């Protein structure tokens, strides 16, 4: 019985080591965070949105044309 347990431990260790070596050869896939576009904060309401969907005026970002026209909101947030 002891020999069977030792054999099982050796086989399990060999499989674990083999899988570790196999995964090290693969190139790591970029994570979803790395693929995400840069986010900006609306100067009026504070909503975060992707920079390519935001409207810029004088180094400030806005989420909509209405907020761009109203200008920066209160700084209490």
Identify whether 12 is part of a domain: no
Domain encompassing residue 46? 38-76
Chain position carrying tokens 């180094």: 59
Identify whether 23 is part of a domain: no
Identify whether 31 is part of a domain: no
Identify whether 50 is part of a domain: yes
Identify whether 56 is part of a domain: yes
Identify whether 70 is part of a domain: yes
Contact partners, residue 45, CB within 8 Å, separation at least 6: 63, 67, 73
Assess contact for 50 and 72: CB atoms under 8 A: no
Per-residue pLDDT of the chain (77 residues; tens, 9 = 90+): 899 999 999 999 999 998 888 776 555 555 556 778 899 999 999 999 999 999 999 999 999 999 999 988 876 55
Tell me how crowded residue 62 is: count the other CB atoms within 10 A of its CB.
Answer: 25
- What is the DSSP-derived secondary structure letter of residue 48? E
Q: What pTM does this model have?
A: 0.53
Identify whether 17 is part of a domain: no
Identify whether 3 is part of a domain: no
The total of structural domains in the chain comes to 1
């Amino acid at each position: 019985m002891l020999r069977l347990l030792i054999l099982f431990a050796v086989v399990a260790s060999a499989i674990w080591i083999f899988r570790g070596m196999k995964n090290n050869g693969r190139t790591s896939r970029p994570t979803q965070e790395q693929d995400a576009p840069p986010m900006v904060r609306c100067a009026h309401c504070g909503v975060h949105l992707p920079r390519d969907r935001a409207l810029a005026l004088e180094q400030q970002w806005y989420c909509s044309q209405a907020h761009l026209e109203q200008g920066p909101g209160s700084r209490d947030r």
